[in-house]
Amino acid sequence: MLTEIKEGYVKSEFHNGVTSVEFFHPQSNSLPAKILEELTTAIHGAGNDVDTKVIVLRSGGDKTFCAGTFFDELMAIKNHDEGFQFFTGFANVINAIRLAPKFVIGRIQGKCVGGGVGIAAAVDYAIATEAAEVKLSELAVGIGPFVVGPAVERKIGASGYSQLAIDATMWRNADWARRKGLFAEVHSHPDGMDESIARLTELLAHSSPQAMAEMKKIFWKGTEHWDKLLVERAAISGKLVLSDFTRNAIEKFKKK
């Protein structure tokens, strides 16, 4: 299945019990609303597919895993409702990963920014390369990582989350992310990452679906309120994106 989104896409491929969901956008795999919507649908579909035993979430290209928010759409937001709807897209993707009764393995081949860090944090097991530096850049443009915050904090703790959120312009390397628990593995070369993903998905594809579903419920215990929480967080971001500070900050960023 391939969904064309202007110059980007979301596609799903199934092979031997494994569904791979891939997204791509030419602007460093940033996430317009349509890609967020299609990602949510694809993850939900794979989670409900009886033949799928494990899901791999990946992005196209070999440099950036995900640059987060698509700034062109941010600048086009005219009112709070539009802002709320846009940021709800990130909430929906994270909740789709959380609620899928299958383990979601993340293939993190490059840099993660903002919402990209949130997606990397939401997957159940992230396998990365040394190129996968991370940065929560939202405060630098006057917003704050409100929607992705719960997923990041759940994975790396309040201290690591606050470090990323406060120092919004500083990159942390992949080893920092591994030590904090964001990444389960870090490989020096993409081949090593892909070999590890192939090994793990092969193992999981032959494991008990019922046992894995029950394990996932336990791993995500305490997040049952996220359907409401992440939407509330989207409302905060939807309001802040309308500020003059944010408009000016994004304009300066785009001119770099």
Task: Give CA angle at 28 (24, 32), nearest 5°.
Answer: 60
- The CA–CA distances, whole Å, from 48 to 15, 40, 219 equal 16, 12, 19
All structural domains of the chain with their residue ranges: 2-192+223-255
pLDDT for 253: 73
Phi then psi for residue 185, to 5 deg, are: -140, 150
In tens, the pLDDT along 60-115 reads: 999 999 999 998 898 889 999 999 999 999 999 999 999 999 999 999 999 999 99
Q: Which CATH architecture has domain 2-192+223-255?
A: Alpha-Beta Complex (3.90)
Q: Minimal CA–CA distance to 87: which of 249, 230, 247, 251?
A: 230
In tens, the pLDDT along 215-231 reads: 999 999 999 999 999 99
Strand pairing partners for 54? Answer: 18, 103
